[in-house]
A and B are shown apart, each in its own frame.
Chain A
Amino acid sequence: MAFIPHTEADVAEMLALIGVKRIEDLFDEIPASLRVRSLAGIPAAMNEQQIGRLMSERARSDGRPLCFIGAGAYEHHIPAAVWAITTRGEFYSAYTPYQAEASQGTLQLIYEYQTMIASLTGMEVANASLYDGASALAEACLMAVRANRKSKAQRVLVPKAVHPHYRKVASATAGNQALRFEELPYSPSEGRTLPAALARYDGEDVSALVIQQPNFFGVLEDVDALTAWARERGIFVIALVNPTSLALLKPPGEWDAGGADIVVGEGQPLGVPLSSGGPYFGFMTTRMAHVRQMPGRIVGRTLDVSGREGFTLTLQAREQHIRRARATSNICTNQGLLVTAATIYMSLLGPQGLARVAAASHARTAELVGVLTRVPGVRSLFCAPYFHEAVLALDRPVAPVLQRLADRGILAGFDLTEHYPELGHALLVCATETKTSADIERYAAALAEVMKAARAA
């Protein structure tokens, strides 16, 4: 067990060379008082067949419900080739490419990824990825405060329409460094951040403004007006975007008045399975002028001693293993395996395929909203345009409705009551290209029955 290859003869000969009698003797520097006596809480070992059976049973008990939840993680079709190649041992079981000559595959792939994600976001440079979208936003806020030398305030404006979990991660991560986050309200009728909400900050010292496009409600923000306001005042713009949407929507680099300064987002929609929340990856892109303030690994192309092109980690002088306490972040890995999947995904979809995914997701969501709002007691809450998520208002509490639909094998959306009690009985729904008209009809029929039964009760 434990995947240990040693034979008894191996052990005897190895111990003889070391000059001890038993393996136990190799631990003679550890105080006896500290030695473990039992690990009674660990179950007995299982072989692969036994664990396979256990895991299959547990997976089966979780089922395969029809899912209309988005809220930061999106179900898309993943081409079979993506994970067939990603799980090749040469990618799966390699480490951070410290020995560049023995890691050209990983390094070149990251360079290709940097090119794709920079272009998708309309920016000049990208890092090799961060842990997830939420932690990428936290790192972007820290970076903006470092890079914006005009501002002393360490003050970041964050719309309330930004994903509530992301706002929490940002304050948990950056809160120990004296950053202040201030919340911008959204329009209760449109579900988007109004440029008028910024007026009270005119003339004040603000380091950065976060703009999520589409925002947590799925609504499209007026990104040009918000960006222009910030850039005219020397305030950094941090764009938080959905990568699929960028095949259709104006990239942050092209937002008005010169575009965003830093772009981050959750990379999961690009070929990464939902998998209960991870592993995903966060992407980050910026302008060349800020590259030295960017956290995380970066790959560059260079020449070897014989003049051949090759790839290597670069700008390492920013990082913790060189700068220690003065590093731009404590980050020492990226999410290499997920970037591998995303790079293969983007290559297989190409510009046209990704645009089709975005357009189909948008269309399916519009269809979903159209069908669901015909159910009595259901209406659309916001009037502004959206991408592939929308908020519905029910005439009764959301949680019991969701539970009854879950019992019928439909995960009907994300309940906004906890995070946005001011919206009343609000439900965030999402459909992607994976949903058919039949799926949508099935949801609507079940919802109608559940709502009717609830009214009768």
Chain B
Amino acid sequence: MSALREKVIFEYSRPGRGSRDQWPEKVEHAAKIPEHLKRRSAPRLPEVSELDAVRHFTRLSQLNFSIDTHFYPLGSCTMKYNPKGCNEYAMLPEFRARHPLAPSSHGQGFLECMFELQEMLKEVTGMQGVSLTPMAGAQGEFAGVAMIRAYHRARADMARTEIIVPEAAHGTNPATAMMCGCTVREIRVGADGDIDVAALQSAVGPQTAGIMLTNPSTLGIFERRIEEVARIVHAAGGLLYYDGANLNAILGKVRPGDMGFDAIHMNLHKTFSTPHGGGGPGAGAVGVSARLLPFLPIPIVGREGERYRWLGEADLPQSIGRLSAFMGNAGVLLRAYIYMRMLGRTGMSEVGDYATLNANYLLARLKQAGFDAAYPQRRASHEFIITLKREARELDVSAMDFAKRLLDHGFHAPTTYFPLIVPECLLIEPTETESREVIDAFADAMIRIEREAREEPEYVKGAPHTLPVRRLDDVRAAKQLDLIWTPKEAA
């Protein structure tokens, strides 16, 4: 990695310069825009040559860690290899140029891919219907909870507005419930990491709209009493929502539909390897059990004989409606489709197998080296939690210090301080696409950092030392807000 920093692009800008080869021809035509509606001063866009821009953005890219350059064991994010072929074939000229409102006569190839994707997602999750439209996991969650609300409303069961969430849940779960106009009740997790079933039993009632669960849970372990949880919630009249964040762990092994879930979202950018893109685009397709079929968000691809077409409001009058201007992140969905076709039937369960093997192997190596697992008596799923509580107490070196020092060793840090209920934690997810050597090298780095923490704790606490910047002042960032660039002389 280059330790050089890069100027902001506006500092390369010179009045009168520009990438003229990118400017369209002037069209001779009298503009008919009234004077009072016209812009008076030019926007602050840089005036740079094409080479200036290419060099600048290429240099910026080189300041990033990424899957293509580094092991990226960010727990709960499933940073697996994004195959190049998925991008190449999703960006074929006809797919790229297809207008979202083009008639289905000019999109049978695309629609067939989307229809088959819906069918494959149904099969691999055990659900009865799928809508591809949600544009990210959080929007998939929103769709799921909105469908649960619509279901209760359609039955005139208006009092069901409470969503139950385990205390270890991802923050989007309670935030989603609120966006859907629900209230949130958090329930405890037992010492073994499973939901406290007695607490759940006493929490459910006529106010229960449903429960939001991840399985394997955010603790990196399989919720063993899931069938009992489903029975309790269903018996109370509530529905079960599955947060697909951790689907990679059980792909081809267990299906949310068989566990009793009524609504699920899948993070295609995790399990089905579409790009994370520096924080999006995601794709959060939703699946439902039979009772929620009428409420799926539109549009959905339908097949009539050999032809495919969009199903909309007229076909699904009880739908929770539209979540995006068109059909969601179509190009991401194509990438997921290509990935799933490449994996095929056997590849699906290999994902679950090897993601789990890699996680359990890395856990075994770290335990052997003396690190503490948060749930040492439990099998890891596709990820696991190491708690550095003891190291923090004995050496005064925190989980954050370990994370930052890992960057110096050439590894992206695991997820830190999540879930909130485990102190000084690292949530580590190696994914199935990493080789044993890479995992060994990561374990060796953890062991080396532990040694450094004993011998030279200040150095670890000052990490990173080799990156373009050292630890940043977040308090200053939030207090002295500097969110857009202004020229020095004007500032």
Contact = CB atoms under 8 A, between A and B. Distances in A.
B partners with A: yes
B64 A103 contact: yes
A453 interface: no
B389 interface: no
User: Chain A, interface size: which category?
Assistant: 35 or more
Interface string B377-406: 011000000000000000000000001100
A58 to B, nearest CB: 3
Interface in A158-212: 163, 165-166, 168-169, 171-173, 176-178
B19 to A, nearest CB: 5
Q: Max chain A CB contacts within 10 Å: which of B10, B69, B280, B282?
A: B280
A457 B69 CA distance: 64
Contact of B43 (A103, A247, A310): A247
Given A320-B175, A330-B172, A18 B360 contact: yes
A71 B99 CA distance: 10
A62 to B, nearest CB: 5
A114 B484 contact: yes
Interface in A49-100: 51-52, 54-65, 67, 69, 71-73, 75, 77, 79, 81, 83, 85, 87-100
Interface stretch (B199-207, B234-242, B461-469): B461-469
Given A314-B474, A350-B45, A95 B279 contact: yes
A297 interface: yes
A28 B282 CA distance: 32
B280 A363 contact: no
A169 B325 contact: yes
Contacts of B70: 102
A4 B432 contact: yes
Q: Max chain A CB contacts within 10 Å: which of B29, B330, B472?
A: B472
Q: Max chain A CB contacts within 10 Å: which of B22, B255, B276, B357?
A: B22
A173 B178 CA distance: 12
Interface string B420-439: 00000000000011111000
Given A48-B85, A93-B82, A277-B325, A302 B119 contact: no
A85 B432 contact: no
Contacts of B253: 27, 30, 35-36
A344 B55 CA distance: 11
A39 B124 contact: yes
Interface stretch (A9-17, A229-237, A371-379, A443-451): A9-17
Contacts of B170: 321
B472 A177 contact: no
A45 B344 contact: yes
Interface string A279-296: 111000000100100000
Given A67-B99, A300-B481, A99 B113 contact: no
Interface stretch (B87-95, B285-293, B447-455): B87-95
Contacts of A352: 18, 23, 42, 47
A312 interface: yes
A353 B18 CA distance: 8
Contacts of A52: 85, 88-89
A10 B436 contact: yes
B412 interface: yes
Contacts of A56: 89, 92
Given A273-B97, A274-B96, A308-B470, A29 B222 contact: yes
A26 B137 contact: no
B45 A116 contact: yes
Contact of B483 (A62, A67, A114): A114
B45 A134 contact: no
Contacts of A91: 61, 64, 66, 277-278
Contacts of A281: 280-281
A253 B7 CA distance: 28
Q: Max chain A CB contacts within 10 Å: which of B58, B70, B378?
A: B58
A18 B464 CA distance: 32
A47 B347 CA distance: 11
Interface string B24-52: 11111101111011111011111110100
A92 B481 contact: no
Contact of B478 (A48, A300, A414): A300
A93 B280 CA distance: 10
Contacts of B85: 48, 51-52
A46 B341 contact: yes
B173 to A, nearest CB: 8
B307 interface: no
A128 B277 CA distance: 13
A156 to B, nearest CB: 16
B38 A11 contact: no
A4 B354 contact: yes
Interface string A119-159: 11000111011011111000000000000000000000000
B44 A119 contact: yes
B329 interface: yes
Contacts of B184: 324-325
Contacts of A242: none
A254 B60 CA distance: 33
A115 B10 contact: yes
Contact of A126 (B250, B275, B330, B484): B484
Given A1-B344, A105-B62, A277-B327, A41 B354 contact: no
B39 A302 contact: no
A118 interface: yes
Contacts of B44: 115-116, 119, 351
Nearest to B6: A108
Given A46-B344, A279-B329, A172 B64 contact: no
B87 A92 contact: yes
B462 A305 contact: yes
A340 interface: yes
Nearest to A177: B181
B232 interface: no
A73 B418 CA distance: 39
A73 B66 contact: no
A28 B379 contact: yes
B473 A305 contact: yes
Contacts of A220: 33-34, 37
B29 A17 contact: no
A134 to B, nearest CB: 4
B279 A353 contact: no
Contacts of B275: 92-93, 337
A276 B470 contact: no
B459 interface: no
A355 interface: yes
A363 B31 contact: yes
Contact of A101 (B23, B113, B407): B407
A360 B24 contact: yes
A347 B102 contact: no
A398 interface: no
Q: Which 9 A-B pairs have the closest CB atoms?
A: A89-B68, A45-B344, A277-B326, A337-B277, A58-B109, A277-B100, A172-B321, A41-B123, A336-B278
10 contacts: A19-B364, A41-B120, A55-B89, A88-B58, A105-B63, A128-B279, A132-B324, A275-B96, A298-B483, A353-B19
Given A118-B483, A126-B484, 12 more contacts: A4-B433, A5-B435, A29-B224, A93-B82, A116-B43, A128-B279, A254-B40, A330-B142, A332-B138, A337-B277, A350-B19, A363-B28
